[in-house]
Amino acid sequence: MKTILLQKRHIHTGSLILVNRDYGYHTEENTSLIPVQEHTPDILIQRRAGILLSSLMEQINGWQHIVPVSGWRSLAKQQTIWDDSLSENGLPFTSTYVAVPGHSEHQTGLAIDLGLRQKEIDFIRPAFPYDGICGLFRKRAADYGFIERYPAGKETITGIGHEPWHFRYVGIPHAAIITEHQLTLEEYLFFIRQFRHGRASYHFRRNSQEISVSWLEADGNGCGEACLDTELPYSISGNNFDGFIITEWRQCDAYQKELRRASSENRSVPQPGMA
Ligand SMILES: [Zn+2]
């Protein structure tokens, strides 16, 4: 086991950062942006999210029927979209469908608006129905780390109207857990707080992998110490306000083998994710 020191700036980075009306996006270092697809070089997304989105689209032959409408936005771009919508559509519409500048997920490079390929595409509210190819995309999205970020019925939690077209990369396995439990990102980040790093973890099984997720609250200085088996894959993301979500992968087979060996040697094995 190794201790990983986490610093205050890490709270504001990672695939699980919460950006909404309460928590703004303050990091403007999007060095790892790539085009969502080759035909739309101006629509950008963070590299890892982009690679997974491409795999998903390839799987379902998605780009035949779906177009990327909006990806990463700078703060200035978000301000322009807000100002234009305000003068064209008025405040009630704009505040329902456009995030206040500084508080848009699009600034993180982790969000993508998708639309069904058709003659006229509405930039703010593109059509992305629940059936056909769009339905298939939704069905597979969680396996590739994406969630529908603003579902119907959760408007008071997200602070944004129902947006069937807006998808957010949160990573694997978080997208699957969120989708399975029908949570929003806000609710998930609250839910995961009960699994305190070093004491408990949420277990998720994916193919032959056992994945554990735990929560580490930052100390008074915004820092934290995670204790991990660094020989196994892991990822750490901030939540953008007070701590870190730690995800650890472990092969079930290896774990089972170790369990068997341990039981023959009459010793116990910590559960995956338990420090
Ligand atoms: Zn959007």
Q: From CA 274, how far away is CA 200, in angstroms rounded?
A: 6
End-to-end CA distance of the chain: 8
| In the chain, domain spans | 1-16+184-275, 19-169
Contact 209, 173 (CB under 8 A): no
State the distance from the centre of ligand 1 to the C-alpha of 26, rounded, in angstroms. Answer: 18
- How high is the pLDDT of residue 274? 30
For domain 19-169, which CATH number applies: 3.40.190.10, 3.40.50.2300, 2.60.40.10, 3.30.1380.10?
Answer: 3.30.1380.10
State the distance from the centre of ligand 1 to the C-alpha of 113, rounded, in angstroms. Answer: 5
In the chain, the percentage of residues whose pLDDT exceeds 90 is 81
State the distance from the centre of ligand 1 to the C-alpha of 111, rounded, in angstroms. Answer: 6
Residue 263, pLDDT > 80, answer no
State the distance from the centre of ligand 1 to the C-alpha of 190, rounded, in angstroms. Answer: 23
Q: By C-alpha distance, which of 159, 154, 175, 167 is closest to 237?
A: 175
Residue 269, pLDDT > 60, answer no
Average pLDDT over the chain reads 91
Range 118-142 burial, b when 16+ CB lie within 10 A, else e: eeeeeebbbebeeeebbebbbeebb
- How high is the pLDDT of residue 270? 45
In the chain, the amino acid numbered 158 is T
**Parallel, antiparallel, or unpaired: how do β-strands 234-238 and 243-251 relate?**
antiparallel
Which has more confidence, 36 or 230? 36
State the distance from the centre of ligand 1 to the C-alpha of 168, rounded, in angstroms. Answer: 9
- How high is the pLDDT of residue 208? 80
pLDDT digits (tens, 9 = 90+) for 60-98: 999 999 999 999 999 999 999 999 999 999 999 999 988
For domain 1-16+184-275, which CATH number applies: 3.40.30.10, 1.10.510.10, 3.40.50.300, 3.30.200.180?
Answer: 3.30.200.180
Catalytic residue among 163, 180, 248, 258: 163
Catalytic residue at 163?
Answer: yes
State the distance from the centre of ligand 1 to the C-alpha of 78, rounded, in angstroms. Answer: 11
